[in-house]
Structure 1
Amino acid sequence: MSSPTTGSQHLETGAPLAPQTKIKTVMTACMLAIFLAMLDAQIIATALPRIVGDLGGLDVFAWVTTAYIITSSVTTPVYGKLGDLFGRKKVFVIAIVLFLIGSAASGAAQSMEQLIVFRVVQGLGAGGLFVSVLAIIGELFSPREGAKYFNLFGIVFAAAALAGPAIGGLLTDLLSWHWVFLINLPIGIVVLALIATSLHLPPKSRQSHIDYAGFGTLSLAIVSLTLLASWGGVKYDWISPQILGLGAAAVVLAVLFVAAERRAPEPVIPLHLFRDSTFTISVVVSLVAGVVFLGAVNFLALYVQVVTGASPTMSGVVLLPMMFGLVASSVVSGRVITQTGRYKWYPVLSMATGIGGALLFSTMDTGTPRAVVIAYMLLFGIAAGLNMQVLTMAAQNTAPRDDIGAVHATVSFSRQLGSTLGISVFAALFYNRLTEELGKRVPAGALHGVDHNALSSHEVLDRLAAPVRDAVERAYAAALTPVFLAAVPVLLVGLAVALRMRNLPLRSWDHHGGGDEAAREHPAAEH
């Protein structure tokens, strides 16, 4: 019988799980950690144009986000496996501390190069935040019981998404962009205190084997792939030795990674999980969602601030409808899934709606009314929210309990990897097209003495003559069109894959720690 303070059985033995664990306090800390991580992801979007204006480096501005996502992507599966081996609490605390150190350093950055380096440190911690929270929920509760906490997760995630752009704009306007990082510190300290005093999980007894070969080859493969996506067609020609070399390195390292995982006693990503079609589909659709829904936000902020002339604060307000759509669809879908235990059609609808949103974004130019832009963003936000919680729940539902951390880590990793690749590819498309458009639209010599990398700054734009500023705004709008068009084929792939997902009921553990065997064996699967 469950202890009232736990609300769950231990997944291995069926015994009450750590009676001293205070579920409400732990869930509060977990939700604050999610708020922390999501706030940081959204708050920087409206600050980036000001950061570029202050520090320069428009050609590398995407690396402020990309460097963060690369390191968080690489470390996500590692955190999941370390949590399986050494316990969630230790790993969670380490992740929070690293995240806070990186946040403090980023807030003190004095150059674009410093900021990118400090974002790497921040990303090293961020990789463990989402996966630790998801794994803790997965360890404390059965999939069916945990669905309500995933719903709460979605509400907090959405609340941070709603608050992020507006807070980022306000902090940037009223104080400085440095505070979009420094705001993490008080929240993180509260999370540390709550976790240290309230989370008590059973000790891990599994023999530990760190998969150094897997971690190393995976890290290098991701870096090679990201550099290829960022530099191809921009810094180097696609057929240049540098790009071809990076492509070859990524392929070789991927092959070596798979070979390492097959031999490793405790692989970073257990390959046997991919025998389950639900898990594989969840990973692929998460990758697509990361490419499109996370990769597009920074470019929407550029459109709102540069093309429509909105201030950072106002751009946060303009982005609110997109976040509201994300909130509504995430919360509603989570509640319905909790009641019905079925989830298939939400990622399908997410991909289909996203296609419509991306096509509408590609039509935006300097003459598009702001109200129309807001409507497009609302639709895109709805699409993003429909897949936010579903894929993790689906993957957990059919996965072995011993691999719960690796399951959450791999799904989160795929979304973050998609975000890394999406931002890199979109930035390459944007910057390459922007150079062409500025050359065609801006009169020769009109930007003499003006740093092209600082054109996203209102201070720089305000000093330009009206015709020149209009030409710059049109160039930005034209450069953003291929970014949104490129998202369409990616979403079509996601739609095709999501349609193959089986519609299985979420399972529940019995009183002896066993699962719902009917759900596990899939006899009631619907297609």
Structure 2
Amino acid sequence: MAAVFLSLLDSQIVATALPRVVSDLGGLDRFAWVTTAYLIGGSAAAPVFGKLGDLFGRKRVFLASVTVFLAGSAICGLARTMDQLIAFRAVQGVGSGGLFICVLALLGEMFSPREGARYHGWFSLTFGAASLAGPALGGILTDLVGWRWVFYVNLPIGAVVLIVVSSMLRLPAQSTKARIDYAGIVLLVVAIVALNLLTGWVGTTYAWNSPMTIGLAAGSVLAVTLFVLSQRRAADPVIPLRLFGNRTFTIVVLLGFVAGLVGPGLINYLVLWFQTVLGLDVRTSGYLLTAMMLSVVLASWASTKVIGRTGSYRWFPVLSMALFAVAALLFRTAGPRTGLALTTGYVLLLGTAAGLNSQALSLAARNTADRRDIGAVQGTATLVRQLGTGMVSRPSAP
């Protein structure tokens, strides 16, 4: 959970320091890429690290991902230009995506789905702690010791994680001979980067009929097609296509994409809506977002408690999608005359919908996997969910 906290905290803490970063390094026209590079790196790394854990052992790959994250944090703090910071954030994002998916796979290997539900509940609490502490901690560190310490703060926590996990975690030895799908990894990374750039730029930075948009669309289709073909022939594919022969896994992946699209993706626009449509001030908007994040955490935590006691998770995604639909209809009717009380209710409903599926879908995906495929299953489900979020929330500035 300390490693998960690092991954989640970093996405929150850096945003607060960005104005000071721009003031020091310049590059106002590229500052959005500080976040974008981190998100793209994490998206591309998740399925790759998940599969590497299946092949080489989850402890070894987890330690490697934490090391990459800490190395990325260190060089981010040393960056002298905006371009350097963007490149180093991509490295840090790769480590973040790896350690996050490795923790999910580790829990999947150590515990049954029902028993693991209790530990997935800690994900919810960790997410809430990072979301609430990140902005405040980022501001404090930036004011007291400078923006570079929003990256350096990861180093002592990460060092403790490395020492404790390397000395105390015991897992069965891997007996399978590893065969790395290099072609699949390269094609997957190319496809993810192209899709993220396409969804972030089309209609904003570049017109729908611009050469850049057409080129990215064609490149995305080509990369995805070649990736699928490569997975059919690879001895140990990054994303085994046989996984989609399980109907539950396919449904989980599709629901994860929709949940990412209408949950975290739309949440990014709420502050703008609060202030421009409802006319709320910055402080009130912050309170509403905090309330919503608390509802996400509480709903997710409560769902894992129920799953741990009953062993059943199938109704939580259904209820989540129903609440998403109701929340969308309510927001559709909202306007400048909507009172603060009703707005708060709508926001809490949206947060509850997001929280009910976050851990339930992960547990459902785990339940479809053999031990040899836990990493690939969790990596694929996480990747598709992040792609859904990225389609509506990716910053557009090149």
TM exceeds 0.5? Answer: yes
1:168 alignment partner in structure 2: 138
Q: Structure 1 residues 324-333 or 373-382, which shifts more? A: 373-382
How much does 1:234 deviate?
2.6
CA deviation digits over 1:279-323, x for unaligned, max 9?
111112222233343334554456679975537xx8765532122
d(CA) in 2 for partners of 1:185, 1:373: 40
Counterpart contact for 1:72–1:416, Cα < 8 Å? no
Instruction: State the distance in 2 between where 1:290 and 1:177 align.
Output: 30
Aligned partner of 2:46 in structure 1 is: 76
| TM, length-normalised to structure 1 | 0.68
Matched-pair contact (CA < 8 Å) for 1:46–1:301: no
1:421-456 Cα offsets, whole Å, 9 max, x none, are 3322xx44xx8xxxxxxxxxxxxxxxxxxxxx9xxx
Give the aligned partner of residue 95 of structure 1. Answer: 65
**Is the aligned partner of 1:213 residue 2:167?**
no
1:146 to partner: Cα distance: 1.7
Aligned to 1:443: none
Q: Distance in 2 between matches of 1:112 and 1:370?
A: 40
- Give the superposition deviation at 1:180: 3.2
Return the letter of the residue paired with 1:150: H
Contact kept in structure 1, 2:124 and 2:298, CA below 8 Å:
no
Question: CA shift at 1:127, angstroms?
Answer: 1.6
Conserved? CA contact 1:166–1:317, under 8 Å: no
2:150 aligned with 1:180? yes
| Aligned residue among 389, 394, 397 for 2:359 | 389
Q: CA deviation at 1:361?
A: 5.8
Higher-RCO chain (CA-CA 8 Å, sequence separation at least 6): 2
Map of 1:148 onto structure 2: 118
Report what 1:517 is aligned to. Answer: none
Query: Are 2:173 and 1:233 aligned?
Result: no
Q: Is the 8 A contact 1:213 1:260 kept in 2?
A: yes
Q: Map 1:487-502 to 2 at 5 A.
A: none
Please tell me whether the aligned partners of residues 62 and 423 of structure 1 are also in contact (alpha carbons under 8 angstroms): no
Residue 127 of structure 1 corresponds to 97
Per-residue CA shift, 1:452-504, capped at 9, x if unaligned? x9xxxxxxxxxxxxxxxxxxxxxxxxxxxxxxxxxxxxxxxxxxxxxxxxxxx
Maintained 8 Å contact 2:69/2:96:
yes
Corresponding position of 1:291: 261
Map 1:41-440; keep pairs closer than 5 Å: 41-48=11-18, 60-172=30-142, 176-300=146-270, 308=280, 310=282, 318-357=288-327, 374-424=344-394, 427-428=395-396
- Tell me which residue corresponds to 1:19: none
How far off is 1:218 after superposition?
1.0
CA gap 1:42/1:378 in 2 versus in 1, 3 angstroms: farther
Please state whether the residue corresponding to 1:90 is helix, strand or coil. Answer: helix
CA distance in 2, matches of 1:96, 1:83: 13
1:475-514 correspondence runs (5 A): none
SS at structure 1 position matched to 2:204: coil
How many angstroms apart in 2 are the aligned matches of 1:269 and 1:339? 32
Query: Using the alignment, how far apart are the partners of 1:56 and 1:303 within structure 2?
Result: 29
Q: Which has the larger displacement, 334-343 or 361-370?
A: 361-370
Contact preservation (8 Å) 2:26, 2:82: yes
SS in 2 for 1:295: helix
In structure 2, runs of 5+ residues without a counterpart are: none
Deviation, 1:410, is: 1.2
Greater C-alpha Rg: 1
The secondary structure found in structure 2 opposite 1:287 is: helix
C-alpha displacement of 1:368: 7.4
Provide the rounded CA distance (Å) in 2 between the counterparts of 1:294 and 1:165: 17
Do the aligned partners of 1:45 and 1:297 also contact (CA within 8 Å) in 2?
no
Q: 1:216 Cα shift?
A: 1.0
The verdict on how the C-alpha distance between 1:301 and 1:122 changes in structure 2, with shifts beyond 3 A counting, is farther
Q: Which amino acid aligns with 1:107?
A: G
CA distance 1:53–1:418, shift in 2 (3 Å): farther
How far apart, in 1, do the equivalents of 2:24 and 2:287 lie? 22
Alpha-carbon displacement from aligned partner over 1:230-282 (angstroms, at most 9, x marks no partner): 22223322112221121111111111101100001100001000011111111
What displacement does 1:198 show? Answer: 0.5
Read off the aligned partner of 1:97 and give its amino acid letter: T
Equivalences, count: 396
Question: Aligned residue for 1:17?
Answer: none
Change (3 A) 1:375 1:225: same
For residues 189-246 of structure 1, the C-alpha deviation after alignment (integer angstroms, 9 at most, x for no partner) is 1111111110121221111111111111111111111222222223322112221121
Amino acid at match of 1:230: G
Partner in structure 1 of residue 5 of structure 2: 35
Mapped to 2, the partners of 1:201 and 1:165 lie a distance apart of 36
Describe the SS at the equivalent of 2:239. coil
* Kept in 2: contact 1:283–1:414 (CA 8 A): yes
Alignment partner of 2:249: what SS? Answer: helix
Which whole-Å CA distance do the structure 2 matches of 1:300 and 1:48 have between them?
20
Task: Give 1:139's aligned amino acid.
Answer: E
2:199–2:390 CA contact under 8 A, matched in 1:
no
* CA contact 1:165–1:316 (8 Å) conserved in 2: no
TM-score, structure 2 as length reference = 0.88
AA in 1 matched with 2:205:
K
